[in-house]
Amino acid sequence: MARLKPYAATNDNLITHGLAPTMRLLIAVALDGSTMTYGELGAKLEGDAGFSTIFRTRLGFVVGSLMGKIQKVEPTAPLINVLAVNQKDRQPSKGAGSFMAHRFKERRLDRDDAKDRFPTLWQHSFERAAGEVYKVSAGEWADLYRRVFGTSLDERAIENDREDRKRGTEKDGIQTGRNYGSGGEGSYHKALRLWIRDNPGLVNNAFAEATTDTEVDLDSGDRIDVVYKLVDRTIVVEVKSRISNEVDLRRGVYQCVKYRAVREAMDVRDTTSVEALLVTENELPGEIAALVKLHGIQHYTAPLERG
């Protein structure tokens, strides 16, 4: 017997009981540098938040109401609602136009037909809005959520939401996440990973203003050591510590290739680059250096003594 859902999908119920879980879902998506279709959002609200069937055309109302609620607390908040997108074109519906029009002071975006009439302007504005959203850190989202809903959202809960959105049901034999073996992550690797996370400006002056994240799961089930997020680009970082041998380093090159491709596929911004960076504590052997150059991967040698 099917379990009775506590909430009918009325406007009042969607606003009262649907906005908080919607924001949590979109925060997870934002931190992963991805998007969520209206269908995925509706299925989550039905399956996890206790709603009866929600017509997918109603999800624009939900994310628009959420953004309106957020803006009452923080008028300059990034437009997280744009990460809810249509399945076919991976763009938000026309309801996002009024928010982008106000944010970017472009009245044409407020027209009902803006998406079809001004497709280049729409795409550019959408990518700009998404870039602003992607740059926000987990701590900043948690603080905004608390201010909007009056209840705490700690970063561990956010991590759980991020893991949950990628949890499948099929056991396909693919190792998900980081496989460190029976001994777990080594101390040298962990120390380097955390130092790279905390010191983007020392890696490259151009990364100084980046929002950083570590052990970031991709929708493919892989996990990136570190991600640097800037408004105009994203850098995926693979670290190899001082004990890595040539096999480890070669694997690192191809991990960079894979992570860059998957993260690029996840990112809705066609004009925004995803770059790859291999970090080591030793100089690269000639063969590995040639591979790095061949595949357009940046390389940084971290100092062994970091204080």
For position 265, which CATH number holds? 3.40.1350.60
Task: Determine the Cα–Cα distance for residues 37 and 89; give it in Å rounded to an integer.
Answer: 10
**pLDDT on residue 56:** 84
Same domain, 252 and 213: yes
N-to-C CA span, the chain: 62
Number of domains in the chain: 2
**pLDDT on residue 168:** 63
Which of the listed residues 149, 169, 192 is the one where a domain comes to its end?
149
Tokens of 78: 């990034």
* pLDDT single digits (tens) 251-271: 999 999 999 999 999 988 777
Give domain status of residue 168, yes or no.
no
Same domain, 217 and 100: no
Amino acid at 226: V
Amino acid at 225: D
36 by DSSP, 3-state: which? strand
Q: Which residues of 170-193 are buried (b: 16+ CB within 10 A; e: fewer)?
A: eeeeeebeeeeeeeeeeebbbbbb
Give domain status of residue 234, yes or no.
yes
Q: Which residues of 274-293 are buried (b: 16+ CB within 10 A; e: fewer)?
A: bbbbbbbbeebeeebeebbe
Same domain, 272 and 189: yes
* Residue 185 binned pLDDT confidence (cut-offs 50, 70, 90): confident
Same domain, 79 and 191: no
Q: Is the pLDDT of residue 193 over 80?
A: yes
Identify any residues that bridge with 240 across adjacent strands, giving them in sequence order.
280
* pLDDT single digits (tens) 64-116: 999 999 999 999 999 999 999 998 888 999 999 999 999 999 999 999 999 99
Give domain status of residue 3, yes or no.
no
Give domain status of residue 162, yes or no.
no
Same domain, 244 and 140: no
Please say whether the beta carbons of 36 and 22 come within 8 A. Answer: no
When mean pLDDT is compared across 132-141, 179-188, 244-253, 277-286, the lowest value belongs to: 179-188
Give domain status of residue 57, yes or no.
yes
Same domain, 17 and 99: yes
Same domain, 47 and 110: yes
Same domain, 132 and 189: no
Same domain, 144 and 189: no
Give domain status of residue 111, yes or no.
yes
Boundaries of domain holding 107? 11-149
